A and B are shown apart, each in its own frame.
Chain A
Amino acid sequence: MKNFLKLLSSAPFSAKFGIVVIFIYLVVAIFAPLIAPYGEREILGRAYELWSSEYLLGTDNLGRDMLSRLIYGARNTIGLTLIITVLAFSLGGILGMIAAALGGRVDQILSRIVDVFMAIPGLIFALLILSFFGTSMPYLIGTIVVLDATRVFRIARATAMDVAVMDYVEVAQLRGEKLGWVVRKEILPNITAPLLAEFGLRFCFVFLFISALSFLGLGIQPPTADWGSMVRDNATLISYGDITPLIPASAVALLTIAVNFVVDWMLHRSSGLKDV
């Protein structure tokens, strides 16, 4: 813990800023019911009410409190994003490392499958699947996980390849170790730094992707609050010079920037460590 604090204090300003922002988002997401003044789905007043002391950010197209929905939206969107990113990393990471460790035919087959997936533009692929199977949560998660796992696979395979040619991996093979051990104990600990950095980036992309899908009406379904659909539902307000719909949009933007600051710092550290 002490080391961790020491590490934090050595971070540059941008990274500290990012960490603080992420921390605030997490607190808001976790304690949403305590912080939000009203319920997520409560219809309180007329549609599109202006900012007032009662409704700090006004109300949305159905008369629900914008601020409350913004707070609940953090919970839904971040939660979903986290689940998807973790799943995508598990799937892509494990397959990537296996491909690197085994090489040969296994590597060829896995890599070509991934190439096929990557050849189709992500958004179009997702639209296709979701409009075909319907927009239920499992399909949403499954689709984005598979799409994102292809990117993770590429980076996991590339970094694991560098490790797999090391003599210590050969030593483990000569000892007669099974594939699981080689991947878990010899390769994984040596590629965690680039994978973690990639995790941060992927998190942002998934976040934006969900928001984009929600904006198109294929993401998180109403009445569940989420930032993407909040922008869409209230977009008309912009025509009247009201900036309210931009607030969920900037919530997305701010988190993206914060995560990227932290990721940059981590990447810098991991590349610096290699030089020593």
Chain B
Amino acid sequence: MSDNTINNSNRELTPLLQMKGLRIEGLSDNGWQEIVCGIDLELKRGEILGLIGESGAGKSTIGLAAMGYARDGCRFTEGDIIFDGIELRTAPEEEKRKLRGTRISYVAQSAAAAFNPAHRLLDQFVEGPVDHQILSRIDAKEKGRALYRSLDLPDPENIGDRWPHQVSGGQLQRMMVAMAMSCEPDMIIFDEPTTALDVTTQIEVLKTIKEIVIDRNVAAIYVTHDLAVVAQMADHLMVLRHGKLVEVNSTGQILKAPKQEYTRDLLKARNRDEKMPAPTPNPQTLLSIDSVTAGYGKGPDVLQDVSIMVERGQTVAVVGESGSGKSTLARVITGLLPTRSGGVSFEEELLPPALNQRQKQQLQKVQMIYQLPDVALNPRQRVRDVIGRPLSFYLGLKGKEKENRIKELLRQIELPESYIDRLPNELSGGEKQRICIARALAAKPELIVCDEVTSALDSIVAKAILNLLQRLQNELGLTYIFISHDLDTVASIADQVVVLYAGRIAEQGPKSAVFQPPFHPYTRLLLSSVPEMRQGWLEETLATRETQAGIAHEVKITEQGCPFVERCPVSIEDVCVHNRPPIQTTVSSGHAFACQHSAKVLLEESEQ
């Protein structure tokens, strides 16, 4: 008996995973380069360690190294990885194979890419335990259903018989967490499991992960670039940069008293400077969208009766979850998607609905910046051609004049003139996005539609891009339509906010009127879902009525009634399902929302 106790206490004391002086090299154009430079790491049973840093910090590489795995084009050069007494660096492949999936498992960023679309979900769940001969196929399936049940997935008995494309993104990510648990592992690696998700879906997944890890006393490594998210999950944080350790400490300490400058920058990147409302001496409507209805092919109306006024020199933010119709709105404005009814007027002149009917001059005035600068820049065109083309196309500039203007634009977006001959793959993500901004500016536009322009970027880079956009607006008097699902970003840059839900406007008005306090239950749900940079936020949010009613639902377009009814904590039985919500106004000018309840009632409700 005493032997057992000693063994047990030893098990508690010795870390489950230990890395000592780990160095990993990656193959680049210039030969092997160190991407992880001497990392020490310890993880005890039941502990969650957050690895945080920007892209290129080496956090995913370290995450994979915890399984003894180096990606193609990467190799271990020095150091030890010891998992429960086993040296993984030197362990034979067969032994590592046995560990993976059974004692260590992995949850990837994109569940949609990690599931095989040609197999049913439960069949993929049982692969691990059956292949490793831990459970029989029948037992494994039973276990899968039990896990689905404990994770509160809808219809746990049958959901496993569905195909991956038949469940929502959040559900799929939760199914992957369940799959990671199939062999009761000792350790799970989470690699940015919520990065691609909406804030509301993110909460749903975070809740699942937290339950799994805490209830089952599993050790976990949580890799992410989002400090606010990891603050909800991790006991300890390791801040990484360029493969080196910046700072390691308990989560509370890092949030309260960061020791390093870089950590402080990361913390600051979330707390953005509030934008001062732009002074508009004589408001002038630049773009007006009048009861636009639009859809794709023979499908349903993805936008229904949407009307928005955009004033010159202002920033109008359009927010909503995926499926709410934000990007469709951008396509309608630019003419990529002709409307079914209603119209878009620019400077009081009705624009032809389809792109190919619009005049060159009309096209010139409305420019667009995309979410992914990687695919918005032709990889075969140099910066000179990318920025130069709109100059010669719209303004007829040539030779020296054009060259000078390109250089001037490069200065405006804070890049050196020497970048003029670079190809996109010689630029970082943030620099690429700057080139996209310069391309839009080159046309001398009045209005720029920004479609999620910062959501693919690291927080510090994103902040710099937002500041640049802000500065350009002040200098050039630009008008922005800013599409985003990130309310944090919106709060910092917008003058006006439009909240879209299922193709209909839920609420719109000046930023302060929409956000402080939020009236429409959907706005409230969105706001309460934005992670805050403090511990315990997740639990508090999960306890609120909005979250309990609102998360784990998909956006559904409805023909009648209020589309939000299923997720609404204050819906009125029978009424909301059948009747379109009336437009309610408040004392703030231009503020309106669509709900059966009046502003007064909603305000009282929210105070309860």
Contact = CB atoms under 8 A, between A and B. Distances in A.
A169 to B, nearest CB: 8
B363 A175 contact: yes
Given A175-B389, A176-B360, A190 B355 contact: no
Nearest to B334: A174
B390 interface: yes
Nearest to A186: B378
Contacts of A176: 355, 358, 360, 363, 393
Contacts of A190: 378-380
Interface stretch (B54-62, B202-210, B368-376, B471-479): B368-376
A174 B378 contact: no
Interface string B569-591: 00000000000000000000000
B236 interface: no
B375 A168 contact: yes
Contacts of B439: 171
Interface residues of A, number: 15
Nearest to B362: A176
A276 B27 CA distance: 10
A10 B376 CA distance: 33
B395 interface: no
Interface in A146-182: 166-168, 170-171, 173-177
Contacts of A186: 378
Nearest to B368: A174
A121 interface: no
B355 A166 contact: no
Contacts of A177: 393
Nearest to B27: A276
B448 to A, nearest CB: 12
Chain A interface SS verdict (over half): helix
B368 A171 contact: yes
Contact of B336 (A166, A170, A185, A189): A170
Contacts of B372: 167
Interface residues of B, number: 26
Interface in B429-469: 439, 443
B377 interface: yes
Contacts of A167: 370, 372, 375-376
A166 B375 contact: yes
A20 B195 CA distance: 52
Nearest to B436: A171
A260 to B, nearest CB: 27
A163 to B, nearest CB: 9
Contacts of B425: 276
Contacts of B360: 176
B379 A174 contact: no
Contacts of A171: 368, 370, 376, 439
B399 to A, nearest CB: 19
B56 to A, nearest CB: 15
Nearest to A188: B380
Contact of A174 (B355, B375, B377, B381): B355
Contacts of B363: 174-176
A166 B439 CA distance: 16
| Best-surrounded residue of B29, B360, B363, B378 (most CB of chain A within 10 A) | B378
Nearest to B385: A185
Contacts of A170: 336
Interface string B325-337: 0000000001110
A116 to B, nearest CB: 27
A185 B386 CA distance: 11
B563 to A, nearest CB: 29
Contacts of A166: 375, 378
A276 B426 CA distance: 12
Interface in B320-378: 334-336, 355, 358, 360, 363, 367-368, 370, 372, 375-378
Contacts of A174: 334-336, 355, 363, 367-368
A189 B389 contact: no
Contacts of B394: 175
B390 A175 contact: yes
Contacts of A173: 336, 355
A168 B432 CA distance: 12
A189 B381 CA distance: 9
| Best-surrounded residue of A171, A174, A176, A185 (most CB of chain B within 10 A) | A171
B378 to A, nearest CB: 4
29 contacts: A166-B378, A167-B376, A168-B376, A168-B378, A171-B368, A171-B370, A173-B355, A174-B334, A174-B336, A174-B355, A174-B363, A174-B367, A174-B368, A175-B363, A175-B390, A175-B393, A175-B394, A175-B443, A176-B355, A176-B360, A176-B363, A177-B393, A189-B378, A189-B381, A190-B378, A190-B379, A190-B380, A276-B29, A276-B425
Interface of B: 29, 334-336, 355, 358, 360, 363, 367-368, 370, 372, 375-381, 389-390, 393-394, 425, 439, 443
Of all A-B residue pairs in the complex, the 8 with the closest CB atoms, nearest first, are A189-B380, A167-B376, A168-B378, A176-B363, A167-B375, A167-B370, A166-B375, A176-B360
Given A166-B375, A175-B363, 19 more contacts: A167-B370, A167-B376, A168-B375, A170-B336, A171-B370, A171-B439, A173-B355, A174-B336, A175-B389, A175-B393, A176-B355, A176-B358, A176-B360, A176-B393, A177-B393, A185-B381, A189-B378, A190-B379, A276-B29
